[in-house]
């Protein structure tokens, strides 16, 4: 029988699935803490040049020293010689273009530490001529996330890569907190980003491939809400720990615990069958059946490929490459459209979410607001995903986000609250888009290249996140230009998403051939909404020519206690 029906046979959404989702969701709580961490560890502070060392011998207090040695309002230069006359009650800078000679800050800077006691900015003086290094650190982290997508290869499986990435995240995150130099910090953050990518992509695939079809949208949204809660958690932890090294350490240590319990996780039986390890897949399914209270059903399982399906299984064992994503017409269309969707969603999302200080509000409150908007956004998205469809949700969320961002170009800059509200609304729509596209991508690609497809999606997403901060530089020429580009990209990709096939209430495809046969242009649209037949009912007479079969001996069974809602 098909794998979707086989899952129902061993318990459907049973205790194993619930426990597995919980264990895979706990790390997601901490993912936002790493992804958005530099909003706090690299937060800017007011700074002024430090006076010359000999100035300390004058006996003046700190305020008087700054007045004598540093021009008012100047952050990156100081007087060559002390200007004692500025201590007079009416002392002011002379009129005209000529004035006291100044020089670059040669002895460091004095920082305002009222909010953040220590950041990488104050640690390594990433200000003035070195201010671009702040963006470099974040870009290198995102580059690590991009490179980490390469770890999502079909040959390694889901669980083994996930376990390794938990350990890498823990070790590299901890090393970042003890980095002695900025260069070492960037290296450790790069390696942390690589682990982040592996955790997200393998965690999503592993959870989805053990889920019954009717539960995939709900589980995907639950994991998305865990990321939302993680944004609240980040704001609270950052408020309690204003020192960047301690903050980096606190958000990294939990991954040692995730690494330890990840050995209990079960490898995807779908993937095991696709790579020809049917005996191991049988053991994993019997383990699931025992946990779900279906031990007798599990003992009856005899996984084998039917004679008519041996050809398909042999084909599925062949080596697949990234070229399979564009080799056939339907997959080529899917890959092309998803590249647009992932790039623009990430591009606009990080353009808004990684620049909280520009909103000129309390940074902790803004972080909470940006996290809170995800709650209603993802709730609406799961309802439309479940009852309307994936394609509509994806296209509508992107177009609405783009229009909200574009509207910001028409609002005067002095209307700060309205501009912030539009940005928050746009960010919520982009969060809904992310919530949908993670599920949608996994449902569109077949099992044999699902991780490869997720890796391509991750690549386009990270290219968008790397490009987002660079686009802000265009604001120096024309202030509204970044918002125009941030808004136009989601609108265009929302229109492109209309060309994706619908996957609501459909079993996950297993092979490339099945994808081509299911969503070929000549297939009638109504077939996309054919509900799945529960295993207790007679199976469909339509042959599954392109699907690897998992056979269960015909045995009298008790009627199933759960029926998939439609």
pLDDT tens track for 203-231 = 877 777 777 777 777 787 788 788 888 88
Average pLDDT, the chain: 76
Mean pLDDT of 341-354: 87
Nearest to 321 by CA among 155, 547, 518: 155
pLDDT tier, 342 (very low <50, low <70, confident <90, very high otherwise) = very high
Query: For the domain 3-44+123-497, what is the CATH superfamily, name and number?
Result: MFS general substrate transporter like domains (1.20.1250.20)
Alpha helices by DSSP H, 74-119: none
Mean pLDDT of 15-28: 85
Q: What is the pLDDT of residue 542?
A: 44
Mean pLDDT of 481-503: 90
Neighbours of 274 (CB within 10 A): 24
pLDDT beyond 50 at 289: yes
Least confident of 82-91, 170-179, 513-522: 82-91
- The residue extents of the domains of the chain are 3-44+123-497, 47-85+101-111
More confidently predicted of 470 and 519: 519
pLDDT beyond 70 at 544: no
Q: What is the pLDDT of residue 267?
A: 78
pLDDT beyond 90 at 137: no
Averaging pLDDT over each range in 156-160, 257-261, 469-473, which range is the top one?
A: 257-261
Q: What is the pLDDT of residue 127?
A: 80
More confidently predicted of 446 and 274: 446
pLDDT tier, 99 (very low <50, low <70, confident <90, very high otherwise) = low
The pLDDT tens digits for 228-261 are 888 888 888 888 998 999 999 999 999 999 999 8
pLDDT tier, 300 (very low <50, low <70, confident <90, very high otherwise) = low
pLDDT beyond 80 at 27: yes
The pLDDT tens digits for 423-465 are 889 989 998 898 888 888 888 988 778 878 887 887 888 888 8
pTM above 0.75, yes or no: no
Q: What is the pLDDT of residue 506?
A: 84
In the numeric block, which tokens belong to residue 7? 């899952």
pLDDT tier, 496 (very low <50, low <70, confident <90, very high otherwise) = very high
In the numeric block, which tokens belong to residue 478? 């024309």
pLDDT beyond 70 at 299: no
Tell me what percent of the residues of the chain surpass a pLDDT of 90.
15
In the numeric block, which tokens belong to residue 428? 């919520």
Question: Distance between CA atoms of 278 and 164, rounded to whole angstroms?
Answer: 24
In the numeric block, which tokens belong to residue 368? 């909470």
Q: What is the pLDDT of residue 255?
A: 92
Q: Are 390 and 443 in contact (CB under 8 A)?
A: yes
pLDDT tier, 537 (very low <50, low <70, confident <90, very high otherwise) = very low
Mean pLDDT of 511-529: 66
Question: Distance between CA atoms of 274 and 509, rounded to whole angstroms?
Answer: 12
pLDDT beyond 60 at 564: no
Q: What is the pLDDT of residue 1?
A: 47
Nearest to 196 by CA among 266, 144, 246: 144
Q: What is the pLDDT of residue 5?
A: 67
pLDDT beyond 80 at 560: no
Question: Distance between CA atoms of 394 and 388, rounded to whole angstroms?
Answer: 11
Neighbours of 81 (CB within 10 A): 11
């Amino acid at each position: 029988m098909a794998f979707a029906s086989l899952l129902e046979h061993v318990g459907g959404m049973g205790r194993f699935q619930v426990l597995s989702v919980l264990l895979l969701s706990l790390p997601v709580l901490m993912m936002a803490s790493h992804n958005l961490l530099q909003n706090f560890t690299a937060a800017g502070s007011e700074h002024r040049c430090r006076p010359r060392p000999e100035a300390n011998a004058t006996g003046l207090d700190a305020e008087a020293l700054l007045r004598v040695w540093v021009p008012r309002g100047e952050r990156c230069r100081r007087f060559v010689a002390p200007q004692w006359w500025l201590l007079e009650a009416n002392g002011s800078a002379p009129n005209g273009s000529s004035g006291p000679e100044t020089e670059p800050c040669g002895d460091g800077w004095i920082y305002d530490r009222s909010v953040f006691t220590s950041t990488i900015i104050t640690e390594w003086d990433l200000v003035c001529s070195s201010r671009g290094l702040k963006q470099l650190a974040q870009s290198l982290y995102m580059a690590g996330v991009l490179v980490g997508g390469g770890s999502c290869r079909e040959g390694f499986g889901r669980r083994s890569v996930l376990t390794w990435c938990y350990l890498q995240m823990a070790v590299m995150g901890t090393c970042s907190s003890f980095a002695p130099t900025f260069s070492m910090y960037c290296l450790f953050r790069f390696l942390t980003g690589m682990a982040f990518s592996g955790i997200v992509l393998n965690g999503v695939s592993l959870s989805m491939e053990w889920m019954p079809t009717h539960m995939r949208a709900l589980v995907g949204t639950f994991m998305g809400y865990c990321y939302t809660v993680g944004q609240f958690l980040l704001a609270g932890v950052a408020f309690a720990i204003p020192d960047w090294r301690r903050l980096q350490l606190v958000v990294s240590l939990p991954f040692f615990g995730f690494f330890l319990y990840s050995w209990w996780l079960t490898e995807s039986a779908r993937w095991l069958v696709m790579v020809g390890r049917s005996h191991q897949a049988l053991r994993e399914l019997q383990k699931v059946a025992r946990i779900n209270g279906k031990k007798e059903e599990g003992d009856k399982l005899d996984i084998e490929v039917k004679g008519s399906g041996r050809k398909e299984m042999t084909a599925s064992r062949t080596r697949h490459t990234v070229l399979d994503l564009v080799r056939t017409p339907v997959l080529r269309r899917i890959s092309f459209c998803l590249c647009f969707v992932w790039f623009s969603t990430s591009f606009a999302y990080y353009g808004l979410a990684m620049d909280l200080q520009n909103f000129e509000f309390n940074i902790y409150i803004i972080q909470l607001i940006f996290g809170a908007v995800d709650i209603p956004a993802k709730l609406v998205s799961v309802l439309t995903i479940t009852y309307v469809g994936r394609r509509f949700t994806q296209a509508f969320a992107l177009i609405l986000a783009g229009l909200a961002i574009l509207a910001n170009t028409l609002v005067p800059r002095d209307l700060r609250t309205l501009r912030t509200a539009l940005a928050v609304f746009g960010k919520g729509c982009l969060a809904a888009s992310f919530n949908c596209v993670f599920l949608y991508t996994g449902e569109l690609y077949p099992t044999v290249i699902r991780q490869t497809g997720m890796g391509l999606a991750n690549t386009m997403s990270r290219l968008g996140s790397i490009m987002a901060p660079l686009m802000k530089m265009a604001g120096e020429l024309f202030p509204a230009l970044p918002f125009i580009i941030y808004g136009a990209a989601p609108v265009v990709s929302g229109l492109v998403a209309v060309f994706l096939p619908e996957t609501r209430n459909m079993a996950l495809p297993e092979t490339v051939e099945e994808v081509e046969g299911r969503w070929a242009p000549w297939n009638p649209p109504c077939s996309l909404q054919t509900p799945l037949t529960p295993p207790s009912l007679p199976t469909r007479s339509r042959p599954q020519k392109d699907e690897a079969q998992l056979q269960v001996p015909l045995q009298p069974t008790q009627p199933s206690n759960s029926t998939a809602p439609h």
